[in-house]
Amino acid sequence: MITLHGFPTSNYYNIVKHALLYKEIPFQEHLIFTDNDKLLAVSPVGKVPAITTDEGVTLSESSVICDFIEEAYPDIPLYPESATERAIVRQIMKIAELYFELPSRRLIPYVFSGTQAPDTLKQEVRQVLARGIPALNQLCQFSPWIAGKALTMADIYMHYVNVVVIGCASTQLDWDVLAEIPGMKEWNKTMTQSDIAQKIEADRVANMPEFMTHIKAQIQAAQPK
C-alpha cells in the first residue's frame, strides 16, 4: 500500500491526498513535519509531500507523484487520453504553481507571524501574480472543469494552489486575486463542496493545532538570540 508522508495542513500534501482519494487508491498517511530530519529519508529536499510506493520506492514533488499515480493506477483517470490534452492539463498545473502558488507562498511567514511583509517583497509577489492572472484567464475553461468537460488533475492542483493564494493575497496584498479570473471563484466553490475536499478540509482543521506548535517552534528557533 502507498504511504503518504507529510501533514494535512500542507496544500501540496492535500493535492496528492485528493488525487489518491479520487482515484480510490488505498494508502496510509504518515504524519511527519518538515522539522523532522527523518523526512530527508523519503524527500531529498525535506519538503512535503512524499510517498513510498508499493515497491518501497520513495518519491517527492507533488507533480511527479501525481504523474506516477496516474501511470501506475490508470483505472480512474485524472488526465485526458490524448497527449496534447494531457500537456494542456500539465501546462495549467505548472503555471498555477509557478505564477500563483510560489509567489504567494513567499508571504506565508508574515501571515503566520501576523506581521506585514516588506513593501519590496509585496511588489515582487504582485508582479508575478500579475503574469499568472492573464495566463490562467487564457487557459482555464470552467466548462465546467478547468480543462473542459472532465475533471482532471489540473482541477485538484489549482484548488489547493488557491488555498495559499487566497490566504496570502487577501491579508498581505489586500487583493482578491481569484476575482480577476472570471469563473474561478464559482469553480473553486464547487471544488470545495466535493466530499473529498470536505474530508481533506476536516483533516486540515484537525491538524492545525499540532501544525501551529511546530511552526511557532520554528519561528522561535529562527529569531536572533
Ligand X SMILES: N[C@@H](CCC(=O)N[C@@H](CS)C(=O)NCC(=O)O)C(=O)O
**Binding stretches for ligand X (CB under 6 A):** 10-12, 34, 46-49, 61-63
State the nearest-atom distance from the C-beta of 170 to ligand X, in Å. 18
State the nearest-atom distance from the C-beta of 173 to ligand X, in Å. 20
Look up residue 27 and give its DSSP letter. Answer: E
Q: How far is CA 166 from CA 118, 172, 179, 190, in A?
A: 19, 10, 10, 16
State the nearest-atom distance from the C-beta of 33 to ligand X, in Å. 9
- Name the residue nearer to ligand X (CB basis): 48 or 129: 48
- Name the residue nearer to ligand X (CB basis): 34 or 58: 34
Burial label for 200, CB within 10 Å (0-12, 13-18, 19+), is buried
For 149, the grid coordinates are 468537460
Interhelix angle 153-168/83-96, nearest 10 degrees: 10
- Name the residue nearer to ligand X (CB basis): 63 or 141: 63
Q: Mapping DSSP to helix (H, G, I), strand (E, B) and coil, where does residue 74 land?
A: coil
- Name the residue nearer to ligand X (CB basis): 16 or 88: 16
State the nearest-atom distance from the C-beta of 186 to ligand X, in Å. 26
Q: How many C-beta atoms surround the C-beta of residue 34 within 10 A?
A: 15
**Helices (DSSP H) in the chain: which residue ranges?**
11-22, 62-72, 83-96, 102-105, 108-113, 119-139, 153-168, 184-193, 195-222
Q: How far apart are CA 197 and CA 205, in angstroms?
A: 12
- Name the residue nearer to ligand X (CB basis): 137 or 208: 208
- Name the residue nearer to ligand X (CB basis): 34 or 190: 34
State the nearest-atom distance from the C-beta of 36 to ligand X, in Å. 11
Q: Position of cell 522561535?
A: 220
Look up residue 171 and give its DSSP letter. Answer: I
